[in-house]
């Protein structure tokens, strides 16, 4: 199925549809790994995303299919590190709804973020994949797009 998409920078008006897709993404990950790894509240996510967008703490590009339905999104935030030699971007979420997969929409969303990062003088983009081996296809996608494994693992501690 060939579909045309429009990709644009999200505004606060997009928060409800992006929040819905965040819920779908997290549910998909938890279903595959069999662990309740995330807490998701739709209303809280809309509120948080609206705040992030208003304060430019977060940048989101949303894709719409030619039928007007939201098809996917990619989110970014800016970080700074000495090892990265300056400012860089991190992709915390990338999601394409299942019915739109296979149309190179993920590729187009990543390309959009690369251009955005260049415009902000970022030195690099970083991404963490969901758990492997369940998401080895996700890792392969990023490797095809020029990302390389930089070592280490993502760790967290609740505050």
Residue 151: what pLDDT?
A: 73
**Is residue 152 in some structural domain?**
no
CATH number for 25? 3.40.630.30
The 8 Å CB, 24+ separation contacts for 92-97 are 92/128, 93/22, 93/25, 94/127, 95/21, 95/22, 95/24, 95/25, 96/63, 96/71, 96/72, 97/21, 97/24, 97/70, 97/71, 97/72
Q: Average the pLDDT over 96-116 and give the result.
A: 96
Q: CA dist 45 to 10, 52, 63, 151, Å? A: 15, 10, 19, 31
DSSP state of 129: P
**Is residue 53 in some structural domain?**
yes
Residue 150: what pLDDT?
A: 81
**Is residue 157 in some structural domain?**
no
Band of residue 132 on the pLDDT scale cut at 50, 70, 90: confident
Q: CA dist 91 to 2, 4, 142, 153, Å? A: 26, 24, 11, 15
**In the chain, % of residues over pLDDT 90:** 79
**Is residue 149 in some structural domain?**
no
Give me the number of domains the chain comprises: 1
**Is residue 84 in some structural domain?**
yes
Which one, of 51, 52, 74, 71, lies nearest residue 61 by Cα?
74
Band of residue 53 on the pLDDT scale cut at 50, 70, 90: very high
pLDDT of residue 100 exceeding 80: yes
Structure tokens that stand for 111 in this block: 């390309």
**Is residue 159 in some structural domain?**
no
pLDDT of residue 114 exceeding 70: yes
Residue 2: what pLDDT?
A: 55
Range of the domain at 120: 5-144
pLDDT of residue 123 exceeding 90: yes
Residue 20: what pLDDT?
A: 98
Tell me how far apart the alpha carbons of residues 49 and 40 are, in angstroms, rounded to a whole number: 13
**Is residue 139 in some structural domain?**
yes
**Is residue 17 in some structural domain?**
yes
Mean of the per-residue pLDDT values for the chain?
93
Structural contact between residues 46 and 16, judged by C-beta atoms closer than 8 angstroms: yes
Tell me how far apart the alpha carbons of residues 49 and 4 are, in angstroms, rounded to a whole number: 26
pLDDT of residue 95 exceeding 90: yes
């Amino acid at each position: 199925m060939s579909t045309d998409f429009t990709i644009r920078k999200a505004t606060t008006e997009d928060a409800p549809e992006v929040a819905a897709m965040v819920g779908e993404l997290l549910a998909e990950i938890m279903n595959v790994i069999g662990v309740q790894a995330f807490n998701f509240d739709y209303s809280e996510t809309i509120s948080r995303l609206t705040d992030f967008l208003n304060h430019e703490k977060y940048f989101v590009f949303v894709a719409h299919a030619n039928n007007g339905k939201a098809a996917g999104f990619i989110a970014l935030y800016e970080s700074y590190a000495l090892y990265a030699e300056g400012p860089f971007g991190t992709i915390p979420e990338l999601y394409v709804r299942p019915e739109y997969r296979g149309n190179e929409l993920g590729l187009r969303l990543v390309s959009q973020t690369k251009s955005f990062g260049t415009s902000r003088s970022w030195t690099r983009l970083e991404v963490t994949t969901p758990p492997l081996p369940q998401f080895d296809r996700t890792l392969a996608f990023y490797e095809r797009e020029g990302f390389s494994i930089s070592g280490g693992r993502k760790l967290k501690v609740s505050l």
